[in-house]
Amino acid sequence: MKNIKFLLTAAFASVCLTSVAQDFSDPKFAPWGDTPEERKENMYANQFLKQNLDNRNYDAASGYLKKLLDNAPKASVNIYARGITLFRRKIALAKNDTELRNTYIDSLMLLYDLRAENFGDNKSMPRVQIYDNKARDFLNYRSDDRVGLRKMFEAAIDYAIETEGKANPETIAIYFGNICEDYANGEGDVTADDIILAYDRLSPQFDNGDEEVREQKAAFDSYFGRSGVASCENLENIFRKKLESAPEDETVLAQAVSLMSRAKCTGDFYLSTSEQYYKVKPSAETAMFLAQAFQNENNFDKATYYLNEALAVEDDPAAKEQLYVRIAVVELAARHYGPAAQAARNAQSLNPDNGYVYFVLAQCYATAATTCQGLEGQAAYWAAYDTMAKAVALLENEPETLGHAKSMLSVFRQHFPTAEECFFAELKENDRYTVKCGAASGVATTVRFR
């Protein structure tokens, strides 16, 4: 049956070539051979290559492919397209024969080179795309050859950058992910310097891209962050040199801040770079980030400054409420009790059910004991206790803060004045009392004994 099918295929090819009288001496057929007879024979071979490939007769197709590559390598780009398909299929079929499979892989790689040599200027698949596809097929079929894989992708990327100024972002991300993996696994002789140099050289390839390019950039940065190379010291070495020559380069600043944040960097260079980025591209998000960074460094003045910067451009009431709460907490940590209480009251005006408002206010009220004399100072603990009790009622879903709030309730109660102290001040239990000193000044409360 197979022989009959082959004969029918041959007959069909013969009809196709002879149904219209062909003058194979015409110069347009020159790529198919030196003589009319050779041209006709090679055109037959091209038809037989297609038919045998379609019929899955791969051994016969291989014979016709070899003949065409030997005798008419510049005749048609389809010779190479079909040849690549042929060897991909043969590789799949030889999965249990390592030696044969490797032979087919070698043939596939050679076919890519021959296509680049003979049809590298073809618009349907130019040389840059041929090298790209070759690298990806190498990854598919020889991923265990880490050195060869690295060289294959580097050749494709370098050629694209050299000839077009840009390489395929996905190809760069694939390559970079693999060398980062090799570094982590100790394979392919990849060093930390290799990773850093590759990142430094290839990261500009993602500049000014669309959403798809940005997604590849995110993957690229993620590989770098997970590689273990992205230490704060290494990152500082990379970006210090860049920023010395271009201190206001928004793209470089964004990269530096992003990567150093992911690496959990601290220190002067990190913070100064972040501040410079904010100057170049101010935003509420960056201001919040800087506020947290300075808060972590216990630089409360700068933390408050950037929180107020974010507050100045924020319109959403819920977001403003959270900003006021953060300002209140930072001012409290800095022992600026008046500004902390004011920020808490501003948050309270936006949401009177925010438990953190009362958590901060109560602590601010309690500080009056250290600034006011005698019973006036002690009376502030009544206001502090009342306010912290409101915090406890509202912080049920914040167990850690709730625990602190309950502990402070006990502390405040222990500092209430005694019955004797209240007697001499002519105060009776459960009388109403208005605090007259400190951050709680003007707050109405109730007289209670220790």
In-domain check, residue 300: no
Model confidence band, residue 394 (pLDDT cutoffs 50, 70, 90)? very high
Please say if the pLDDT value at position 377 is more than 60.
Answer: yes
Largest CA distance in the chain: 128
Contact (CB, 8 A) for 46 and 78: yes
In-domain check, residue 428: no
Same domain, 183 and 121: no
358 vs 287: CA distance, rounded Å: 26
Same domain, 40 and 151: no
- Can you give the pLDDT at residue 280? 92
Count how many domains the chain has.
2
Q: Lowest-pLDDT range, 61-65, 72-76, 190-194, 367-371?
A: 367-371
Q: Which of 125, 159, 185 finishes a domain?
A: 125
In-domain check, residue 107: yes
3-state SS, residue 352: coil
Same domain, 94 and 151: no
Please say if the pLDDT value at position 357 is more than 80.
Answer: yes
Contacts of 214 (CB under 8 A, 6+ apart): 206
- Can you give the pLDDT at residue 315? 87
The residue ranking higher by pLDDT, 13 or 65, is 65
Model confidence band, residue 103 (pLDDT cutoffs 50, 70, 90)? very high
In-domain check, residue 104: yes
Please say if the pLDDT value at position 302 is more than 70.
Answer: yes
264 vs 354: CA distance, rounded Å: 31
Same domain, 111 and 154: no
The residue ranking higher by pLDDT, 182 or 15, is 182
- Can you give the pLDDT at residue 245? 86
| Most confident option among 2-16, 289-303, 338-352, 375-389 | 338-352
The residue ranking higher by pLDDT, 196 or 361, is 361
In-domain check, residue 341: no
Kindly provide the b/e burial profile for residues 411-430, where b requires at least 16 CB atoms within 10 angstroms of the residue's own CB: ebeebbbeeeebeeeebeee
Supply the range of the domain harboring residue 105: 1-125
Q: Which of 98, 125, 152 finishes a domain?
A: 125
Same domain, 95 and 6: yes
Same domain, 24 and 117: yes
In what helix (H) or strand (E) does residue 431 lie, and over which residues does it extend?
none
Please say if the pLDDT value at position 20 is more than 60.
Answer: no
Instruction: For residue range 139-192, list pLDDT tens digits in order.
Output: 999 999 999 999 999 999 999 999 999 999 999 999 999 999 999 888 878 988
Please say if the pLDDT value at position 16 is more than 70.
Answer: no
Same domain, 119 and 170: no
Same domain, 54 and 154: no
Same domain, 197 and 150: yes
* Percentage with pLDDT > 70 across the chain: 95
Same domain, 59 and 111: yes
In-domain check, residue 209: yes
- Can you give the pLDDT at residue 370? 78
Of 277, 189, 176, give the one whose Cα is nearest residue 225: 176
Same domain, 157 and 46: no
345 vs 325: CA distance, rounded Å: 9
Please say if the pLDDT value at position 30 is more than 70.
Answer: yes
Average pLDDT in the 117-144 region? 95
Of 224, 205, 199, give the one whose Cα is nearest residue 165: 205
- The per-residue DSSP string of 143-193 comes to TT-HHHHHHHHHHHHHHHHHHHS---HHHHHHHHHHHHHHHHHT-TT--HH
Model confidence band, residue 23 (pLDDT cutoffs 50, 70, 90)? confident
Q: Which of 193, 215, 230 finishes a domain?
A: 230
Task: Give the mean pLDDT of the chain.
Answer: 89
pTM: 0.58
- Can you give the pLDDT at residue 224? 87
In-domain check, residue 218: yes
In-domain check, residue 177: yes
Average pLDDT in the 211-216 region? 90
Query: Which residues on adjacent β-strands are paired with residue 444?
Result: 434
- Can you give the pLDDT at residue 14? 44
Length of the chain: 450
Same domain, 30 and 105: yes
Q: Lowest-pLDDT range, 198-212, 318-332, 368-382?
A: 368-382
Please say if the pLDDT value at position 420 is more than 70.
Answer: yes
**Assigned token pair, 426:** 């002519």
